[in-house]
Structure 1
Amino acid sequence: MYVIIVGAGEVGRSIAANLEDTHDVVVVDRDGDVTEALTYELDVLTIRGDGTDLEVLREAGLEQAGLVIACTDNDETNAVVCGAAKATSEVFTIARVRRRTLLETWQGSQGAFGVDFMVCTDLLTAQTIFRISGLPSAHDVDTFAGGLVRMAEFDIPEDSPIVDRTVSEADCYDSLTFAAIFRDDEMIVTRGDTVIRACDRVVVIGSPDSMHDFADEVATTPDDTEEVVIVGASEIGFQAAREFEEHGFRPRLIEQDHERAREVAEALPNTMVMESDATNSEFLAREHVGEADVVVAALDSDEKNLLVSLLADRLGVDRTVAIIETPEYADLFETVGVDVAVNPREETAEEIIRFTRTDHTEKIAMLEHARAEVIEIEVGPDSVLVGQDIVDAAAELPDGVVIGAISRGGEHITPRGSTAVQPGDHVIVFVDAAVLDEVVELI
C-alpha cells in the first residue's frame, strides 16, 4: 500500500518505522531538519511542506495513495489535511486528535471533516490506564473480540508462586493460553516444558475471568482496585478520572492550578478534586495517598511524573502508573521503580497501524516496542487454519506463532491441538514481528 503520513513527530515516526519494510511510505512535515533526519533514519520518502496544501499532497503522491494519516500535534490541522485529501481522491483518511470533544463531534456527524477514522490520543491512553490498573502485575493489557478475549503481559516477581514452574505446571486455567516469555533480550515462544523464571514477562491470552485468576496467582499485590488517585488534571488525567467514574469508581484527583481544579471538579461529579502540589510529601501523607491501590501520574512533564511515582511508591502505594512523552524513558522509569509507563503516542500509533494490514485484521497490540504483536484476524475460507486441526495447521506456520484464542459467534473458545477453526472465526494470534507478514498472508 502507498501511505502518506503528514507529521513527523513521535507518532508519525513510529508509524513510518513500522511500515517502511512492507509499504511505500511518504512522510510530509514542515520542518526541513526533521524530514532530512528521517531520510537517513528510515527507508521512506520525505517531503518538506504543509500537508494542508493540496499541491503538497499531490507532490507526495496522493493520486496513488491508499491511505493518508494526519498525525501532527494540531487537531485542526489534521482535520484539514484529511479534508484536502478527500477533496480530490477516494483515499482512506485517518486523523489523530487530542480532544475527546472533537472525536465525539466526528462520531455524531457520520464522517465529518473528510475523516474516515479518528483516533483520540488522550482517550486511548485513559482507556489503557484503566485496563492496566485492574490487573496487578500487568505491564500491558488489551482486549479483543469485543471484550470477549484479553491479552496481558505480566511481570513475574521473585516471590511469585509460579517462579521455577513449567508452563504445564502453572497452567491450571480453563480458558487461558501461555503465548510467550520475554526474558532480558530474549523472546521465548512457550511450550509445556518452558520454565518460568523470576523477572520474566509472560504474555497470556484468554477470557477476562481466567486473566483475573492468573493475576491473582502471579501477583504479590491485591487485585481489588478500589482507591485510585490521579495526579494532574491534564487532558489525560481528566479522561482517566472520567473513565474510572464510568466504571463505578470514585477516584481522587490532585491538581495545583485553581482554575483547572474548579473546572474538572464541575465536570466530574464522582471525583474528589484536591487543589495542591502533588510533590508535597506532607500533603500526600496527610491525605493518606499511600493507602491508594493505584496512583496515576499525569502531569505535564516526564520528570514530574517520575518524581510523583517515586514519592507514591515510597509512601506504600500498591501500583504506580506514569505517563511518559519520551518513549526512550519507558525502560528507565520501570527500572527505577515505576510499575507501568504508558506512552500516549505509542498507543496512538498502534491503533492506526492496523489499518495498513489486510482487510481481515480487526485489531493489533504491539509488545516490547513492536518486537511482537497480538493480532485479531477474521479467518477466510482459504486460511491455512481451515479444514484441519490446529496441531496440523501449526506445522504450516513459521516459528514464533501461537494461536491464543478463538471467538465464534460471541463464544470464547480456548484453542487446543484438536480444535478446528472455521471460516468466519476470529482468531487472536501472538506473532513474532519478524514473520508477521507471512503469518497474516497464511491466516
Structure 2
Amino acid sequence: GVPLREAKIPADSKVAAIIRGDRMLLPGGDERIEPGDRIVVIGSPQAAQTWSALLAPGEETVRDAVIYGAGRVGTAIAHVLIEQGIGVRLIESSLERARAVAESLPGARVYHATGVDPDFLERERIGQAGVAIFAMRDDAKNLYAASLAKVHGVQFTIGIAHEPISVTAFEQGGIDVSVNPRMVTAEEIIRFAHDPRTQQVALLEGNRYEVLDVTLKDTSEYIGKRFKDMPVRGALIGAVVRNGAALFPHRDDVLQAGDRVIVFTEAADAPRVVKAL
C-alpha cells in the first residue's frame, strides 16, 4: 500500500512491472502494489528468496518434493531438485520404468504406484510434501492426482500441461502453477527471431510479455544516458550485466558500451525495443 519509493525493496532487485488485471504497469516511485497484483521482479537468487518471504510470510523453504510421473520431464525435474539438495519422491505407475529410474536416480525414492490411492497417500504422508509436481503423460490424470493431493494436504502444486488448453484447465482446477513444455520450445524459436544480440528470452503470462537479455549496440542512443533521462518506450531495464557482474540500476546510473541489459516488455513491442538498444 505504500509508494514503491518508500517501500523496503530487497537489495539487488528491481520491480520491472505490475500486472493488474489485464493491464501492465511500468511502475514509478509513486506506484503502489495492491492486493491481487502480479509483480515481475528482476533480481539475484538471494533477492528472490527475500521477495518470497515478503510476499508469502510464514512460508518455509521447500525441502522435499513429490513428483508424479518418472518420464523424461519428471526425471529431469528430479535431477535438478536433487542437485539443489531437495529431497525427491517419484511416483511411477509402470513397474519397469520405476525400476529403471530407481537405478539411475539413487538420490530419489521411487514408488511403483498410481499415486491416487487414498491408503498410499496417507501411508506415505504425501500431504506433508513441500510441493507436488504432476508430470504424468496424461493431463487429465495430472489434474485428478493434483486434486487428490490437495485434499490430502499438499499446499502447493505444479502441473505439467502437455496441451495448451490444459493450462487453463489446471488453473481453473486449483493447480497453483501450470507449465506447458511447448512454451520452452517457443522461447528458443523466439530467441532466434529477435536480433542476434538477444542472448536469452523468457515468456510470461503465456506469451504476452517477454524478458530479454540484450547486448547494447556501440551506436545505441542509450549509451552515456542516465536512466532518469531515458525515453520511456513501454519497456523497463531491470538489470545491467557489466564485466560479468549484475547491477540493479538507479536513476543516476549510466549505461556503457558492451553492457548487457535485462529488459521487460510486452511481446508485441519486443522487436522495436531490441532495435532501439
TM-score by length of 2: 0.95
Q: How far did 1:406 drift? A: 0.6
Aligned to 2:164, the other structure's residue is in SS state coil
Shift of 1:414: 0.9
Q: Is the counterpart of residue 322 in structure 1 residue 156 in structure 2?
A: no
Q: Does 1:306 align with 2:140?
A: no
The letter for the 1-side match of 2:249 is P
> Quick check: 2:137–2:162 contact (8 Å CA) kept in 1?
no
Deviation at 1:220, TM superposition (A): 4.8
Supply the RMSD in Å over aligned alpha carbons: 1.5
Q: Tell me what 1:386 maps to.
A: 223
Deviation at 1:172, TM superposition (A): 2.5
How many angstroms apart in 2 are the aligned matches of 1:434 and 1:348?
Answer: 19
Tell whether 2:23 aligns with 1:180.
no
What is the identity, as a one-letter code, of the residue corresponding to 2:90? Answer: L
Structure 1 Cα separation of the partners of residues 235 and 142 of structure 2? 37
User: Does residue 79 of structure 2 align to residue 233 of structure 1?
Assistant: no
Establish whether residue 289 from structure 1 lines up as the match of residue 126 from structure 2.
yes
Equivalent residues in 2 for 1:242-391, closer than 5 Å:
242-391=79-228
Match of residue 406 from structure 1: 240
| Structure holding more helix per residue | 1
Larger relative contact order, structure 1 or 2 (CA cutoff 8 Å, min sep 6): 2
Cα distance per residue 1:187-231 (max 9 Å; x no partner)? 222222222222221101011111110111001562411111111
CA distance in 2, matches of 1:165, 1:339: 27
Identity of aligned residues (%): 38
Query: Whole-Å Cα distance in 2 between the matches of residues 334 and 432 of structure 1?
Result: 23
Q: Partner of 2:44 in structure 1?
A: 207
How much does 1:424 deviate?
0.9
The amino acid across from 1:191 in the alignment is G
Q: Distance in 2 between matches of 1:391 and 1:271?
A: 50
Residues 309-340 of structure 1, C-alpha deviation per residue, up to 9 Å, x if partnerless? Answer: 11122222231111101212323322331110
Determine which structure has more spread, i.e. the larger CA radius of gyration: 1
Letter of the structure 2 residue corresponding to residue 291 of structure 1: Q
* Counterpart check, 1:435 vs 2:269: yes
Cα 1:332–1:191 shift into 2, 3 Å = farther
- CA distance in 2 between counterparts of 1:339 and 1:220 reads 17
Cα deviations by residue, 1:270-320 (Å, 9 ceiling, x for unpaired): 110011111112211110011000111111111111111111222222311
Separation in 1 of the partners of 2:7 and 2:148? 35
Q: Which amino acid aligns with 1:273?
A: V
Q: Determine which of 189, 202, 223 is the counterpart of 2:26.
A: 189
TM-score norm. by structure 1 comes to 0.60
Of 422, 435, 440 in structure 1, the residue corresponding to residue 256 of structure 2 is 422
Amino acid at match of 1:422: Q
Amino acid paired to 2:94 = D
Letter in 2 for 1:431: T
Aligned amino acid, residue 39 of structure 2? V
- Aligned amino acid, residue 274 of structure 1: Y
Gaps of 5+ in 1: 1-163
